[in-house]
Structures are given as structure tokens and as C-alpha cells.
Amino acid sequence: MHIRPRRNRRTPAIRSLVRENVLTPADFILPLFLHEDAVNTPIASMPGVTRWSLEGLVKEAGEAHALGVPAVVLFPKIEEGLKTPLAEECHNDDGLVPRAIRALKAAHPTLCVITDVALDPYNSDGHDGVVQRDERGELQILNDETVEILCQQALCHARAGADIVSPSDMMDGRVAALRSALDADGFDQVSILSYSAKYASAFYGPFRGALDSAPKEGDKKTYQMDCGNAREAIREVMLDEAEGADMVMVKPAGPYLDIIARVRESTTLPVAAYQVSGEYLMIESAAAAGWVDGKAVALESLMGIKRAGADMILTYYAKRASEWLKA
């Protein structure tokens, strides 16, 4: 035989030369949970993940950044007494997230700080938008009223020093509204990473437990995408690009590799993908039971996400994977 593909797999050195995709710490964004408490609390629904105090948050972000992780994204657990139907706490300049942004930027000036823009951690109804009942008594999520509040939230984060705001609400028209609001207040350098194709997924369960942000009634299927749809994801991406998004995201990542690949082919914008809590927990649970090599499976799953077309990966493995890759 003249053609033997195995020649390119013969030694580690040759395999390294011909490898098409390479994972590095620079590919990762580390999601960080935070709360008002002065102690760091392990999250029962996500073994190995912690809900950080502000001091612990700054330390953890610094350790990840020292390993080469360029960015973190913040998810707050808001005290129950601060939650309201209109989520006013989300744009409190002295709130938990603005204080965390300021602390992170003061301690780590070169760290990219990304914030989640959505109402569910602050909404007493547990939804990403303002809730109202129609004349038949059915639950409705108000789109335009929600977008107005999201603009206030994004401006609050920008004033605190956020580098990127990341709307995860899936309301129509929110990217254009956020861009206009940021530009009008002089924050034209603050980027928007849009959750463009965020699916109504069962893989989010452990995350909602970490934030105590599950809907009190109903579900999120009137605004998050149906898992059976692919073309719709491209429509959402095209709209967000036209409205001024700087980057787009697919969430979840692992069960939606085909969507990542389609999105990558449809846009020149950077593409992010979120390896969500359910994906993480399945690997961790199988590894804890001794059924799989947790390190190997985690790294392979991350490589699969990158190979599908993701330029950046939000993953709870960001810090550990960076340590593994440097070993």
C-alpha cells in the first residue's frame, strides 16, 4: 500500500505535528458563583464547585488567571429578601455583582470580567423576564418590559468596570437595545457576548440549584429554544449579529455540537459554547464511581467542543483543565 494513514499516528511527536486542534488555557472562560456570605460554600449539586465569598472569588479568579485563563463570568446567588417581581436589585450599583466586578478589576487588571445579564437570580418569580398573567390567567413573560430592565442591569455592570456583558435571557431585540444603551452612556468599548442559541435544556438543573433560581411556576420554553430546532439557531445568531453582538454563544455545548458547527459556518463572529452544569455533573459522577477516567473524559469533551467550532468554552473545568494541560 502506498497510502498508509497510520504513518501520521506512529509516534507522539508525529501526532503532535499533525494535530488539527489544540486545547490551551486561553480557550477557557471560568464560571464563578458568588454570594454575600463571608465563607466559601461547596455546592452540593455540583461537586468540586464552590459558591465564593468576595474574598474567595478574587483569590480563585487570580489563581485561574495565573494558569492562563483569560476570563471569568459571574453568577450571583441573591438573598431571597432582595428578590422582587421587577428584579430591581439587578441594577443596584452597590449590589453583589458590581462590588465583585470592582474587586476583581482592582486585584487583576488584565483579567477579562464577563457578567450575566438576566433577571432570574433577582426575580421573585424565578424567570429571566418580567412575569404577568393574561386575561385567561396564563403565565406570560413580558419581552419589551424585560429588555428595559436588562439595559439598566448592563449599564450597572459597565459602570462597575465589566469588560463584557452577556445577555442570557433570550428576549427578542435585547442585543440592539443593550448596544444602544451602552453606547449612549459612553460604554461603546464594552462588548456583548450574546447567548444567541440558548436551549430550554434539562442539563441546567444543577446550576439552578446553585443559584436557587428555578422558576416558581411554569417553565422557560416560551423564550429558550426548542431542542428539536437547528435552523432556528442560525436565525437567532443572524439577528444578534445584525443587532451588534460582538460574540455569540451556544448553550449547552456537548449535546449541541451540531449547532456549534452550524453556527461556526454561518457567522464570522467569535463563537462561545457553554459546557453546562449537567454535562459537568455527568462526568464527575461517572468518575467518582470509577466508571471513567475523569481527567481524560473531561479533556476529550472539551476538545470535542473546540473541534466543533467553538472559539471559547465556558466550563467548570477551566482551572483544572489548565493545570492538566500544563502538567
- Nearest CA-CA partner of 114 in 160, 149, 147, 148: 160
Question: ∠ CA(211), CA(89), CA(151), 5° rounding?
Answer: 100
- CATH number where 271 lies: 3.20.20.70
| Per-block mean pLDDT, blocks of 10 residues, the chain (327 long) | 96 96 98 97 93 98 98 96 95 98 98 97 91 82 96 98 97 98 98 98 81 73 95 98 98 98 98 97 96 98 98 98 94
Domain assignment present for 12: no
Grid cell locating 155:
449599564
Work out how many domains the chain is built from and give that number: 1
Helix/strand/coil for 95: coil
Domain assignment present for 5: no
Domain assignment present for 6: no
Partner residues linked to 51 by β-bridges: 33, 41
Q: How far is CA 274 from CA 6, 91, 184, 257, 318, in A?
A: 34, 25, 30, 11, 11
Range of the domain at 183: 21-326
Grid cell locating 160:
462597575
Give the pLDDT of residue 138: 80
Helices 231-243 and 174-184, packing angle to 10 deg: 20
Enumerate the active-site residues.
Answer: 198, 251
How far apart are alpha carbons 248 and 220 in whole angstroms?
20
Give the DSSP per-residue string, 260-287: HHHHHHH-SS-EEEE--HHHHHHHHHHH
- Nearest CA-CA partner of 46 in 324, 322, 315, 323: 315
Domain assignment present for 15: no
Give the pLDDT of residue 244: 98
Give the pLDDT of residue 205: 83
Give the pLDDT of residue 134: 77
- Nearest CA-CA partner of 54 in 92, 105, 114, 118: 105
Give the pLDDT of residue 210: 66
Under a CB-based contact definition with an 8 Å cutoff, are residues 226 and 232 in contact? Answer: yes
The CB density around residue 318, as the number of other CB atoms within 10 Å, is 27
Burial annotation 244-271 (CB, 10 A radius, 16+ → b, else e):
bbbbbbbbbbbebbebbbbbbebbebbb
Domain assignment present for 11: no
Domain assignment present for 277: yes
Domain assignment present for 158: yes
The CB density around residue 8, as the number of other CB atoms within 10 Å, is 12
Environment class of 122 (CB within 10 Å of its CB; exposed 0-12, middle 13-18, buried 19+): buried
Classify 173 in phi/psi space as left (phi over 0), alpha (psi -120 to 50) or beta: left
Give the pLDDT of residue 6: 96
Helix (H) or strand (E) holding 108: none
Domain assignment present for 134: yes
